Amino acid sequence: MKRLKLILVSFVPSFCLIVLLLGHSDSGKKELYSYFNKDSPKVDFISTIGVDYAVKSVKIGFKLVKAQIWDTASQNRFRGLYSSYYRSAAGALLIYDVTKRHTFHNVRNWVHDMMADADENIVTLLLGNTSTCNKDNTRAVSEKEANKFAEGNVTFFSEISILDNVAIENLFRNFVSGTSIA
């Protein structure tokens, strides 16, 4: 009779990293954050200083990466805190709504502010939210315009519906793979 050997797999993360979620409150940022937050414990005191966070574990090859997704407050009164957030982050998701031009302009400000304080190796993703784009709500920002802005300012660019959980999962896994520790 053959004996089976049990191999214990460690669920301790190989790496931990911080990913900032930046964008206008009207961009779909809260909906994206709620996707990441579905399995995370609630930490009420964090929001009093201008940031909420969720924890998302991602398996990259044989590594388990634990990402803390920090959802920053969009209000200007918290802007003074952001420089320390930028210095701590391995990555940033910059979200805008393709049907709301003001959210795209807002991303330009986030990129400018972030690059002044972030590590030069920070991985950034410009994310166009297409979930509100339909026959009644047309595009205000073309993919070509966003791609042109992305070329000189961010690491990656993509457009997805933030209502598509599979697309978000795949995009986030690819994003985490692009960070220097993964």
Phi-psi region of 50 (alpha: psi -120 to 50; beta: other; left: phi over 0): left
Asked if residue 108 belongs to a domain, the reply is yes
β-sheet bridge partners, residue 95: 23, 127
- 121-141 pLDDT tens trace: 899 999 999 988 777 778 999
Q: DSSP of 96-136, one letter per residue?
A: EETT-HHHHHHHHHHHHHHHHHS-TT-EEEEEEE-TT-BTT
Asked if residue 10 belongs to a domain, the reply is no
Distance CA 129, CA 109 (A): 18
User: Residue 54 is part of which domain span?
Assistant: 15-177
CATH number of the domain to which 101 belongs: 3.40.50.300
Asked if residue 47 belongs to a domain, the reply is yes
Asked if residue 95 belongs to a domain, the reply is yes
Q: Hey, what are 106's tokens?
A: 């807002």
- 16-75 pLDDT tens trace: 888 999 998 889 888 888 888 775 444 444 444 567 888 888 888 888 888 888 887 765
How many domains does the chain contain in total?
A: 1
Kind and range of the H or E element at 54? strand 51-60
Q: Angle 165-177/29-37 helices, nearest 10 degrees?
A: 80
Distance CA 132, CA 137 (A): 7
- 82-122 pLDDT tens trace: 777 888 888 999 999 999 999 999 999 889 888 888 888 89
Q: What is the largest CA-CA distance in the chain?
A: 70
Distance CA 120, CA 69 (A): 19
Asked if residue 1 belongs to a domain, the reply is no
Asked if residue 5 belongs to a domain, the reply is no
Asked if residue 2 belongs to a domain, the reply is no
**Structure confidence at residue 54 (pLDDT):** 83
Distance CA 58, CA 122 (A): 18
